Amino acid sequence: MESSSDTFGKDDSADAKLQESRVVTEEEWLQKWETNNIGFHNEQGHPLLKKYMDIFLDGRSGLKICFPLCGKTIEMKWLADMGHQVVGVEISESALKDFFTEQKLSFSEEAIPGIPGKLLKSTTGNISLYCCSIFDFSSAITGKFDAIWDRGSLVAVNPCDRKRYSQLILSLMDSRCHCLLATCLYDPSKHKGPPFYVPDSEVKHLFGKSCDITCLEKVDGLAERPKKWGLDYFWEVLYLLVLK
């Protein structure tokens, strides 16, 4: 790939190479859930989704909203309570069961036709959580989406699978879909990820041909967790992706 610059004007191509071959297996993710090693989970929900909710919803009601690699993110409950249809995709069954238990929602289980895994569906019918690999998921199962919340998702996908992942996300977007994408910037020579370092140039490379990309905000996220990893800066960057 050609050398490129992120919005801080720094050449990031050498930095991006540092994590190129890093692979986290599905087993390792399941292990994180088993051992409660889930520092990525935000019990209060994400402040940037709250802040940019109007842009996310774009004045529309009754949306079908996708949460790829959803974990047990409580934002799914927020959106369901606002009257939207929520669809999550997550490899860990215990994450999904924790979600329903913690949100005090009853659910039923059924097979997903054609792919390995199962669907956990709230009794109320408005939250459908697919327990399967995101790479087995497609619009053939649910149709396309009006909105996608991608936080802790692209940045959790192994760098070698990013292209495949971004193609999938694009294929899930309906023509008016608003996708909010949160990435992170830090010194990748100091932390091997996940979350993986995803510079501005990579977002453009993955989505720029198909989407108009707006950087909504860069937030200083140097909290206790990134400090523990040995980082001295950590930016969380929020983008809006809309199909051209």
In this chain, which stretch among 1-9, 84-92, 115-123, 201-209 interacts with ligand SAM, using CB under 6 A? 84-92
Site membership for ligand SAM, residue 128 (CB under 6 A): no
Cβ 34 vs Cβ 205: under 8 Å? no
Nearer to ligand SAM, 10 or 50 (CB): 50
Q: Which residues, including other chains, have CB under 8 Å from residue 235's CB and lie 6 or more apart?
A: 184, 185, 186, 218, 219, 220, 221
Identified binder of ligand SAM from the candidate list 48, 66, 87, 89, rule CB under 6 A: 89
Minimum distance, C-beta of residue 201 to ligand SAM, in the bound complex (Å): 22
Site membership for ligand SAM, residue 236 (CB under 6 A): no
CA distances from 125 to 83, 128, 144 (A): 11, 7, 18
* Residues contacting ligand SAM: total by CB under 6 A: 21
Identified binder of ligand SAM from the candidate list 63, 71, 96, 147, rule CB under 6 A: 71
Query: Dihedrals φ, ψ of 115, to 5°?
Result: -135, 155
Site membership for ligand SAM, residue 168 (CB under 6 A): no
Reduced to 3 states (helix: H, G, I; strand: E, B; else coil), residue 118 is strand
Site membership for ligand SAM, residue 211 (CB under 6 A): no
Cβ 220 vs Cβ 238: under 8 Å? no
In this chain, which stretch among 63-71, 103-111, 138-146, 223-231 interacts with ligand SAM, using CB under 6 A? 63-71
The closest alpha carbon to 85, from 207, 174, 157, belongs to 174
Bridge-based pairing state of the strands 235-243 and 118-122:
unpaired
Q: What is the distance between the alpha carbons of residues 142 and 172, in angstroms, rounded to a whole number?
A: 9
Minimum distance, C-beta of residue 86 to ligand SAM, in the bound complex (Å): 13
Residues at the contact surface with ligand SAM, assessed by CB under 6 A: 26, 29, 40-41, 69-71, 73, 89-92, 95, 133-135, 151-153, 156, 194
